[in-house]
């Protein structure tokens, strides 16, 4: 898979509570299936809060006065502060990063709807340059080594060919 992204992409830093227009307000924040499972299983008092603050039919966080139910008065995420970064759903982990995929190309950018990203992008006098890199996805790696994988799976002992392929 080829990845194309602007050179400034990795310079982005969320400003969290300093944000003038938080991404946790006025948007319906959708939750991916893997995160929904984690939230359903989370224990204790905070687990109860998670379960009660999700619209399970719409698969999104409840909103109160146009704000995510986990956005506290300091404009910080209670999921992040209480349960850690790994408990954030894909939407919250990725935003304002945006991904478009076309066959074997993934274009990555930052959304101007994020004030910090907009300031970074629009405030620069440098011309925008793009970088590219190629990485094999697990599917491509599997296809490239399919014969060796199939031999490994169907044999009870590891073949010399598989050991040679590992290098």
pLDDT in tens, 116-158: 999 999 999 999 999 999 987 666 555 555 555 455 444 444 4
Spatial distance between the Cα atoms of 52 and 59, rounded to a whole number of angstroms: 12
pLDDT of residue 144: 54
Pairing of strands 105-110, 2-6: parallel
Contact between 108 and 9 (Cβ < 8 Å): yes
Percent of the chain surpassing pLDDT 70: 81
- Least confident window among 5-19, 43-57, 153-167: 153-167
Percent of the chain surpassing pLDDT 90: 66
Enumerate residues 6+ apart whose C-beta is below 8 A from 51. 39, 40, 42
pTM for the predicted model, two decimal places: 0.71
């Amino acid at each position: 898979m080829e990845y194309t992204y602007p050179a400034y992409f990795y310079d982005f830093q969320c400003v969290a509570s300093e944000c003038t227009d938080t991404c946790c307000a006025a948007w319906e924040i959708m939750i991916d299936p893997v995160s929904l499972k984690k939230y359903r299983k989370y224990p204790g008092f905070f687990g109860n809060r998670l379960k009660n603050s999700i619209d399970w039919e719409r698969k999104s966080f409840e909103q109160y006065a146009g704000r995510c139910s986990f956005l506290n008065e300091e404009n910080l995420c209670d999921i992040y502060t209480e349960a850690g970064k790994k408990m954030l759903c894909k939407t919250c982990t990725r935003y304002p990063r945006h991904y478009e995929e076309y066959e074997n190309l993934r274009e990555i950018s930052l959304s101007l709807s994020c004030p910090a990203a907009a300031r970074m992008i629009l405030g620069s006098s440098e011309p925008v340059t793009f970088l590219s890199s190629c990485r094999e996805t697990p599917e491509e790696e599997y296809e490239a080594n399919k014969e060796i994988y199939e031999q490994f799976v169907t044999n009870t002992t590891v073949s010399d060919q598989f050991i040679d392929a590992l290098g």
